[in-house]
Structure 1
Amino acid sequence: MESIIFWNCRGARKREASLYLREVVKDYKGFFVGLTETKISSFDRSDVNQIIGNEWDYFNHPSSGTSGGILILWKKDFASFEMVDHSLQVVVGQLNINALGKWNIATVYGGKDAQTRRSLWSKLENYMSADEPCIIGGDFNCILSKEDKRGGKRFYLSKGSKDMKNFMINNDFHDIGFVGPRYTWCNNKEGNSRIWEGLDRCLLNSKAIHNVPMAKVRHLPRIASDHAPISINLVEYQNQKSSFFRFEDTWKTYPATWNIILKAWKKLDYGSNAEILQRKLRRSIKALYYWNKNKCRDLNLLRDEMKKDINVTN
């Protein structure tokens, strides 16, 4: 499964945000990331390397002081991105995915009030063509129904909600549902003051739904921000067995791994020096792989249990 990820991270340079982003990208095989409320005015190659890695390219719309900011990241060997237009509320571009062709994509950070968001709907209408597959995702700062809210004042269909619904109807955009917690934002207050809302969404037009009918939106655990990341998978992997092993850096942190390598390396081999080296490397990595599979299974189970606990509290 290959995924597009949108997240209001509330500060892209926070160490905990970077660590969680890397985890999400790894778990859901993300190849495009739209980060909002980055609070970054200037950004360069070294910042990208630190936040997500050197195999990613980027476009940054700067924050206004310490508020706002939209950062677009894409994996260079899987897709390319061409920026078309950008503002405080949205970055619009063309995403060329190696396996799926060209898509229009918009990363949204909606304004706080309906009047401000009107320019957002207008800009999206200009660029989101019904003839091409389109995806709009991010923090819309707007809810559409009472089911999108828990706690606080009672929901009513405001002008902002009507504007968003009209945009979706008039431009053939659809919310295809989701897996995971219903609410993507929480004010993190205690007791009766706590409010949950579904502010973050991913919308697809009919052309996009036709191209990826099995697409699935996930609301992920809310960590390192008061907003949850959302992901949408576009490519389903075939059930194929991997034909190679990969060395994992985490293996080096366990003392036992040195003994495993020593034991595998001491075995006698035959052939040319190159053949012997290749055989020893393959045997060592294979031994480490099965050790990791058997001995570190508990760590993966613990991580999954923690994620379940986080989803319950959300």
Structure 2
Amino acid sequence: MKSFITCNYLHEVACVGPKYTWCNNKRGANRILEKLDRCLVNAAAFNSSHKLLVKHLTRLASNHCPILFKLLNLIPPNKKVLKFEEVWSTIPVSVAVVYKSWNKKTNGDPSQALNYKLRRTLRYLHFWSKAKFKAMNLHKEELKSEVLRLQELEAGDGVISKEE
């Protein structure tokens, strides 16, 4: 089964509800709980702009949980695309940002967890960068304004004193 899943690039859809989908309906030490039922989709469905959800419903008259597969409303595509900036790798503090983001708990199967960790880390780096470089960009703009003021002053009478 694992080979079939791998060869066909299938991914398990995240689920909500009871963790286990089957029970042998016994009590005490004889009780067995397992996750037997899964919902697998191909990469095209997994990466679509629709939100996929599997809900394990309450087990009532059977030893299996009913499974509800939902295709939720279209997720609007992100208007802003975040891309990794090479300059981030040259700043030693960025390693701490990546470490903090990467070590947060993530649910789902390994491929979903990896995808989510990568997106979350990119988002953390983006906002960290925005905050870090905001002050630097403000200072750069102030310096540009000062240079422009000095150039205008120089163009006016041709002389700039040391005080200016």
Q: Which range, TM-score by smaller chain?
A: 0.3 to 0.5
Q: What TM-score comes out, normalization by structure 2 length?
A: 0.42
Structure number having the greater strand percentage: 1
Structure number having the greater helix percentage: 2
Structure whose alpha-carbon radius of gyration is higher: 2
